Amino acid sequence: MKMKRLWALLLVGALALSLVACSNTDNGGSGGDGSGQTDAVDDLTLSEVLEKIQKDVELPMVGEMEVTDENFAGYFFIDPIEGAETLVSEAMINAVAHSVCLIRVPEGTDAAQVAADIEKNADPRKWICVEAEKTVVKTRGRTVLLVMSTTDTTDAIVENFDAI
Protein backbone atom coordinates (compact mmCIF):
# COMPACT_ATOMS: atom_id res chain seq x y z
CA MET A 1 0.00 0.00 0.00
CA LYS A 2 2.87 2.38 0.85
CA MET A 3 4.43 1.71 -2.54
CA LYS A 4 1.20 2.71 -4.36
CA ARG A 5 0.99 5.93 -2.35
CA LEU A 6 4.62 6.69 -3.09
CA TRP A 7 4.04 6.14 -6.83
CA ALA A 8 0.89 8.26 -6.71
CA LEU A 9 2.73 11.08 -4.95
CA LEU A 10 5.60 10.84 -7.42
CA LEU A 11 3.19 11.00 -10.35
CA VAL A 12 1.36 13.98 -8.87
CA GLY A 13 4.71 15.69 -8.25
CA ALA A 14 5.86 14.97 -11.80
CA LEU A 15 2.58 16.30 -13.18
CA ALA A 16 2.84 19.46 -11.08
CA LEU A 17 6.44 19.94 -12.17
CA SER A 18 5.53 19.53 -15.83
CA LEU A 19 2.69 22.05 -15.49
CA VAL A 20 5.02 24.58 -13.90
CA ALA A 21 7.73 23.93 -16.47
CA CYS A 22 5.29 24.32 -19.36
CA SER A 23 3.52 27.36 -17.98
CA ASN A 24 4.10 30.57 -19.84
CA THR A 25 5.67 33.25 -17.67
CA ASP A 26 5.68 35.86 -20.44
CA ASN A 27 1.96 36.64 -20.26
CA GLY A 28 0.59 34.40 -22.92
CA GLY A 29 3.01 33.50 -25.66
CA SER A 30 4.60 35.32 -28.54
CA GLY A 31 3.21 38.60 -29.71
CA GLY A 32 3.56 40.60 -32.88
CA ASP A 33 6.01 43.07 -31.40
CA GLY A 34 8.95 40.65 -31.53
CA SER A 35 9.39 40.66 -27.74
CA GLY A 36 7.95 37.17 -27.23
CA GLN A 37 5.18 38.64 -25.09
CA THR A 38 1.52 39.31 -25.67
CA ASP A 39 -0.50 42.10 -24.19
CA ALA A 40 -3.77 42.05 -22.27
CA VAL A 41 -5.34 43.91 -25.19
CA ASP A 42 -4.60 40.95 -27.48
CA ASP A 43 -6.60 38.66 -25.17
CA LEU A 44 -9.78 40.66 -25.88
CA THR A 45 -11.87 40.77 -29.03
CA LEU A 46 -11.65 44.05 -30.91
CA SER A 47 -15.28 44.72 -29.94
CA GLU A 48 -14.33 44.32 -26.27
CA VAL A 49 -11.34 46.65 -26.75
CA LEU A 50 -13.55 49.23 -28.46
CA GLU A 51 -16.11 49.04 -25.65
CA LYS A 52 -13.42 49.50 -22.99
CA ILE A 53 -11.63 52.39 -24.68
CA GLN A 54 -14.85 54.32 -25.34
CA LYS A 55 -16.27 53.75 -21.84
CA ASP A 56 -17.10 57.01 -20.08
CA VAL A 57 -15.84 59.06 -23.05
CA GLU A 58 -18.04 61.79 -24.48
CA LEU A 59 -18.55 60.74 -28.11
CA PRO A 60 -20.51 62.04 -31.05
CA MET A 61 -23.13 59.70 -32.46
CA VAL A 62 -20.95 56.84 -33.74
CA GLY A 63 -21.38 53.62 -35.64
CA GLU A 64 -19.18 50.69 -36.47
CA MET A 65 -18.08 50.61 -40.10
CA GLU A 66 -17.26 47.54 -42.16
CA VAL A 67 -13.67 47.44 -43.36
CA THR A 68 -13.07 45.85 -46.76
CA ASP A 69 -9.99 45.73 -48.97
CA GLU A 70 -11.55 48.57 -50.97
CA ASN A 71 -11.96 50.98 -48.03
CA PHE A 72 -9.09 49.75 -45.80
CA ALA A 73 -6.77 52.59 -46.83
CA GLY A 74 -9.49 55.14 -46.10
CA TYR A 75 -9.46 54.11 -42.45
CA PHE A 76 -5.87 52.98 -41.84
CA PHE A 77 -3.99 54.94 -44.56
CA ILE A 78 -1.99 51.84 -45.58
CA ASP A 79 -2.55 48.90 -47.89
CA PRO A 80 -4.66 46.01 -46.55
CA ILE A 81 -2.85 43.44 -44.42
CA GLU A 82 -3.84 39.88 -45.20
CA GLY A 83 -5.16 38.10 -42.12
CA ALA A 84 -5.56 41.25 -40.02
CA GLU A 85 -8.66 41.82 -37.89
CA THR A 86 -10.15 45.31 -38.01
CA LEU A 87 -12.83 47.34 -36.30
CA VAL A 88 -13.72 50.97 -36.96
CA SER A 89 -16.04 53.36 -35.13
CA GLU A 90 -16.70 56.72 -36.76
CA ALA A 91 -19.03 59.64 -36.36
CA MET A 92 -22.33 59.04 -38.14
CA ILE A 93 -22.36 62.66 -39.33
CA ASN A 94 -19.63 63.32 -41.88
CA ALA A 95 -19.13 66.90 -40.64
CA VAL A 96 -17.78 65.58 -37.31
CA ALA A 97 -14.11 64.63 -37.32
CA HIS A 98 -14.05 61.48 -35.19
CA SER A 99 -12.54 58.10 -35.99
CA VAL A 100 -11.39 55.20 -33.81
CA CYS A 101 -9.70 52.40 -35.76
CA LEU A 102 -8.38 49.14 -34.37
CA ILE A 103 -6.29 46.63 -36.25
CA ARG A 104 -4.88 43.38 -34.90
CA VAL A 105 -2.08 42.19 -37.11
CA PRO A 106 -1.44 38.49 -37.71
CA GLU A 107 1.28 36.63 -35.78
CA GLY A 108 4.68 37.40 -37.22
CA THR A 109 3.69 40.86 -38.46
CA ASP A 110 5.60 43.77 -36.94
CA ALA A 111 2.86 45.78 -35.23
CA ALA A 112 5.25 48.63 -34.43
CA GLN A 113 6.10 49.01 -38.12
CA VAL A 114 2.41 48.92 -39.06
CA ALA A 115 1.75 51.64 -36.48
CA ALA A 116 4.65 53.73 -37.83
CA ASP A 117 3.28 53.40 -41.39
CA ILE A 118 -0.21 54.41 -40.25
CA GLU A 119 1.15 57.36 -38.27
CA LYS A 120 3.23 58.54 -41.23
CA ASN A 121 0.25 58.45 -43.60
CA ALA A 122 -2.70 59.35 -41.32
CA ASP A 123 -4.67 62.33 -42.62
CA PRO A 124 -6.71 64.15 -39.95
CA ARG A 125 -8.44 66.05 -42.81
CA LYS A 126 -9.85 62.93 -44.44
CA TRP A 127 -13.35 64.38 -44.00
CA ILE A 128 -12.42 67.29 -46.31
CA CYS A 129 -14.54 69.97 -44.62
CA VAL A 130 -13.41 69.25 -41.04
CA GLU A 131 -10.15 68.26 -39.38
CA ALA A 132 -9.45 66.22 -36.28
CA GLU A 133 -7.80 68.26 -33.54
CA LYS A 134 -5.54 65.40 -32.48
CA THR A 135 -4.28 62.17 -34.01
CA VAL A 136 -2.67 59.38 -31.98
CA VAL A 137 -1.39 55.96 -33.06
CA LYS A 138 -0.55 53.45 -30.30
CA THR A 139 0.46 49.82 -30.23
CA ARG A 140 -0.18 47.18 -27.59
CA GLY A 141 0.98 43.69 -28.50
CA ARG A 142 -0.44 42.92 -31.95
CA THR A 143 -3.16 45.57 -31.66
CA VAL A 144 -2.78 49.03 -33.20
CA LEU A 145 -5.07 51.92 -32.30
CA LEU A 146 -5.58 54.99 -34.49
CA VAL A 147 -7.66 57.81 -32.96
CA MET A 148 -8.50 61.06 -34.74
CA SER A 149 -10.90 63.32 -32.88
CA THR A 150 -11.05 66.27 -30.52
CA THR A 151 -8.13 66.56 -28.12
CA ASP A 152 -10.21 65.65 -25.06
CA THR A 153 -11.83 62.64 -26.74
CA THR A 154 -8.54 61.39 -28.18
CA ASP A 155 -6.76 61.73 -24.83
CA ALA A 156 -9.55 59.91 -23.00
CA ILE A 157 -9.58 57.02 -25.48
CA VAL A 158 -5.79 56.69 -25.37
CA GLU A 159 -5.87 56.75 -21.54
CA ASN A 160 -8.46 53.95 -21.54
CA PHE A 161 -6.39 51.96 -24.08
CA ASP A 162 -3.32 52.29 -21.88
CA ALA A 163 -5.33 51.19 -18.83
CA ILE A 164 -6.42 47.84 -20.29
Is residue 95 in a domain? yes
Is residue 76 in a domain? yes
Is residue 140 in a domain? yes
Is residue 9 in a domain? no
Count helices and strands (H / E) in the chain. 5, 5
For 93-149, what is each residue's pLDDT tens digit? Answer: 989 999 999 999 999 999 999 999 999 999 999 998 999 999 999 999 999 999 999
Is residue 14 in a domain? no
Domain tally for the chain? 1
Is residue 156 in a domain? yes
DSSP state of 108: T
For 39-49, what is each residue's pLDDT tens digit? Answer: 899 999 999 99
Is residue 10 in a domain? no
Report phi then psi at 87, rounded to 5: -155, 130
Amino acid at the residue 46: L
CB atoms within 10 A of CB 15: 10
- Does residue 139 or residue 5 have the better pLDDT? 139
Distance CA 56, CA 17 (A): 45
Is residue 22 in a domain? no
Domain that holds residue 52: 27-163
